[in-house]
Structure 1
Amino acid sequence: MPVPFEALIPLGLITGFFGVSGILFNKLKTSINEGQPPRYGMDRWDRVMMERDYRLTGTQRGQSHQAAAPAGFSTNSAWNLEKEHL
């Protein structure tokens, strides 16, 4: 029994919309991660290194090629300090 051609139009629309939405979602995730693929399964070490990269370069995915850290890196610590209450 042949398939009526009227059924192919909705099938094409549904397939097309799923394809377009998948491509747009992939481009959005890539643009959020500065053109690199998203990271999965990050542990504490990865998060600490991302925080260090953010302090060095200003972006979480950016890395510096310089051998020495900038002068301000020693003072912009990630630790939050509290004032002493006496």
Structure 2
Amino acid sequence: MPVPFEALIPLGLITGFFGASGILFQKLKVSVNEGQPPRYGLDRWDRVMMERDLRLTGTMRGQSHQTTAPAEFSTNSAWDLETEHL
């Protein structure tokens, strides 16, 4: 029994749209992560290093090649200041 060619047009459209949306979603994820693949399974150490990179370079994925930290790094502490409650 032959396949009706009319059924191939919607099948091609559906496949094309699913493929295009998958490619666009992947490109969006990569662009959000500054051109690098997304991170999965982050533990506490990874999050601390991401905060350090944010304070050093201004981005979560950026890394610095300088051997010494900039002068601003000593004043932008990651510690939250406690307020005294009387």
Q: TM-score range by the shorter chain?
A: over 0.9
- What 5-or-longer segments of structure 1 have no aligned partner? none
- What 5-or-longer segments of structure 2 have no aligned partner? none
Q: C-alpha offsets along residues 45-72 of structure 1, whole Å, 9 cap, x if unaligned?
A: 1000000000000000000000100111
Aligned amino acid, residue 25 of structure 2: F
> How far 1:27 moved relative to its partner?
0.5
In the other structure, the counterpart of 2:72 is 72
Identity %: 86
In the other structure, the counterpart of 2:58 is 58
Q: TM-score by structure 1 length?
A: 0.95
Matched residues, number: 86
- 1:1-86 map, 5 Å: 1-86=1-86
Shifted more, 76-85 versus 60-69: the winner is 76-85
Structure 1 stretches of at least 4 aligned residues deviating more than 3 Å after TM superposition: none
For 1:10 and 1:54, how far apart are their aligned partners in 2? 47
For 1:69 and 1:55, how far apart are their aligned partners in 2? 10
Say what the alpha-carbon RMSD is for the aligned residues.
0.9
Aligned amino acid, residue 44 of structure 1: R
